[in-house]
Amino acid sequence: MLEMTSSTQTGRFPVTIIRVAGNVDTSNYQAFQEYLNKQVADGARRVLLDFKRTGRITSAGLRAIHNLFHALRDIHKDADDDELRKLMSAGAYKAPYLKAVYLSNEVAEVFRLAGFEIYIEIFDDEEAALNSFR
């Protein structure tokens, strides 16, 4: 069973921490996507995804995270599409408004294989992740 909770941590910026418990796969990715969409609709502008209690994520869950990235990018407008592609190709871009923390080995491997670590910073420490937002 997939469970999601969120809270806001205020430091330099307010950051919405979304804690995901359970596997994210084709049976529940729509609920995951709806939850992420609702967080943005309710005002989340910087998001930290906490996967401490997530053992597995499939491509369906990755799609929801990618959609979240684009929703936040549309709000922040930090780079146009051409600039973003160039920066990502050069390894010079990490989303300043979307981070992830506490990935299991399996989830980290899926992120790596999908290329998510190219544009989403991954942390092992929540405080360091929160301090990285700009």
Residue 21, strand partner residues: 3, 53
The number of folded domains in the chain is 1
Which pTM does this prediction carry? 0.94
| pLDDT higher than threshold 90 for residue 114 | yes
Q: Which two tokens stand for residue 95?
A: 């989303």
* pLDDT band per the 50, 70, 90 thresholds, residue 109: very high
pLDDT tens sequence across 78-90: 888 898 889 888 8
pLDDT tens sequence across 4-31: 999 999 878 999 999 999 999 999 999 9
Local structure of residue 109 (DSSP, 8 states): H
Q: Which residue range(s) make up the domain with 110?
A: 3-131
Q: What is the CATH number of the domain that holds 45?
A: 3.30.750.24
Alpha carbon distance 132, 58 (integer Å): 27
Residue 33 vs residues 4, 58, 68, 89: alpha-carbon distances, Å: 11, 13, 8, 27
Q: What is the pLDDT of residue 79?
A: 82
Q: Are 4 and 18 in contact (CB under 8 A)?
A: yes
